């Protein structure tokens, strides 16, 4: 065979083998991809499941909070007077009465229910259950929402001051982070090593590393909240974090879901055309996302927890 013809045939065989190998790799790669997105809402929402009304007739519900057993707690920040619980059977009842007006609730590792109060005084307090005995932890503050770590550090947003304040486990209070635009909602990563803070008049959710002494470091704008057309106000508010480290942030558009790296997975529509200001996981197996929305409380079964 002529040498030039042999070279041509060898070249064709090599090109064919290369193309075949590339096609196989492409096929394997496509089968391994999550074609619905890394953290798409299809991983969270359940087809056929919709928002259910679980409590109504209030002025302005807020302070969404769940306990380890799956009970859900909230307060009517406009009317005040009590902390309300919805148990696993759906029974709605006040568990603490004659309370101040409350805008934030979270359980601590000591079993107490910590709260931000708005009236008659702005304070951070803790309630013992079932007695309802209240202990004041901080006065002369402007608390909006709060979290309590498993180590006993209490962090709360002071929206007007643009800062996050900490009450350390030994009772010392100090500013932990400043320079945040109207900080509002606040949440903890599953390992309690990261603190997230949403901006109400801005578009950012900040992440901070929680240090052993209760300080916050390595703060940065990590998530970008979507806003309604024509405004730069996201109205980022209360948030919940699931066991996979996904952040669910209430906002003017709905509940915006981000993965643990800060990528937006999607926006869950609000249950009604009214403000949706806080959310928490509760119910059997903590498999429901509960939200406080103006005069009502809703829940929706999801598959992420």
Sorted by where each begins, the domain ranges of the chain are 1-33, 41-301
- pLDDT number for residue 42: 87
Reading the chain (305 residues) residue by residue, the pLDDT tens digits are 544 444 443 443 444 444 443 443 333 333 333 444 567 898 899 999 999 999 999 999 999 999 999 999 999 999 989 999 999 999 999 999 999 999 999 999 999 999 999 999 999 999 999 999 999 999 999 999 999 999 999 999 999 999 999 999 999 999 999 999 999 999 999 999 999 999 999 999 999 999 999 999 999 999 999 999 999 999 999 999 999 999 999 999 999 999 999 999 999 999 999 999 999 999 999 999 999 999 999 999 999 66
Q: Rounded to two decimals, what is the model's pTM?
A: 0.87
Helices (runs of H) and strands (runs of E) counted in the chain: 1, 24
CA 117 – CA 113 distance, rounded (Å):
12
Segment holding 13, helix H or strand E: helix 3-32
The residue behind tokens 């798409």 is 40
d(CA 193, CA 205) in angstroms, rounded, equals 16
Structure tokens at 121: 């005084």
Distance of alpha carbon 305 from alpha carbon 294, whole angstroms: 25
- Give the pLDDT confidence score for residue 38 in this predicted structure: 64
Torsion sign across C-alpha atoms 271, 276, 281, 283: negative
| β-sheet bridge partners, residue 158 | 163
Rg for the chain, CA atoms, rounded: 24
What's domain 41-301's architecture?
A: 6 Propeller (2.120)
Alpha-carbon distance of 128 to 98, in angstroms, equals: 14
Side by side, the strands of the sheet bearing 52-56 are 52-56, 296-301, 288-293, 276-282
Cβ-contact 201, 182 below 8 angstroms: yes
- How far apart CA 258 and CA 273 sit, in angstroms, is 22
User: What CA–CA distance (Å, rounded) separates 70 from 54?
Assistant: 14
User: DSSP for 24-50?
Assistant: HHHHHHHHHS-TT-TT-GGGTB-TT--
Residue 75 three-state SS? strand
């Amino acid at each position: 065979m002529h040498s030039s013809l042999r070279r041509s045939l060898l070249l064709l065989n090599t090109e064919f083998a290369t193309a075949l190998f590339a096609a196989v790799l492409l096929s394997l790669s496509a089968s391994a991809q999550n074609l619905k997105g890394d953290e798409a809402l299809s991983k969270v929402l359940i087809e056929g499941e919709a928002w259910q009304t679980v409590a109504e007739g209030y002025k302005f519900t807020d302070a969404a909070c769940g306990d380890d057993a799956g009970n859900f707690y909230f307060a009517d920040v406009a009317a005040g007077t009590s902390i309300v619980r919805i148990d696993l059977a759906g029974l709605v009842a006040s568990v603490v009465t004659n309370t101040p007006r409350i805008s934030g609730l979270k359980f601590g590792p000591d079993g107490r229910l910590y709260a931000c109060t708005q009236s008659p005084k702005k304070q951070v307090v803790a309630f013992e259950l079932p007695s309802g005995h209240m202990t004041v932890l901080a006065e002369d503050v402007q608390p909006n929402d709060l979290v309590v770590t498993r180590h006993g550090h209490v962090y709360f947003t002071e929206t007007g001051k643009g800062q996050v304040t900490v009450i350390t486990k030994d009772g010392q209070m100090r500013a932990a982070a400043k320079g945040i635009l109207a900080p509002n909602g606040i949440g903890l990563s599953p390992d309690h090593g990261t603190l997230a803070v949403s901006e109400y008049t801005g578009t950012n959710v900040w992440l901070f590393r929680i240090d052993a002494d209760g300080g916050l470091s390595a703060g940065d704008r990590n998530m970008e909240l979507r806003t309604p057309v024509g405004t730069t106000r996201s109205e980022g508010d209360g948030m919940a974090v699931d066991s996979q480290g996904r952040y669910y942030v209430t906002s003017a558009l709905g509940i915006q879901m981000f993965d643990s790296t800060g990528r937006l997975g999607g926006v869950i529509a609000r249950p009604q055309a009214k403000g949706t200001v806080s959310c928490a996981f509760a119910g059997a197996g903590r498999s429901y996302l509960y939200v406080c929305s103006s005069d009502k409380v809703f829940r929706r079964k999801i598959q992420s927890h």
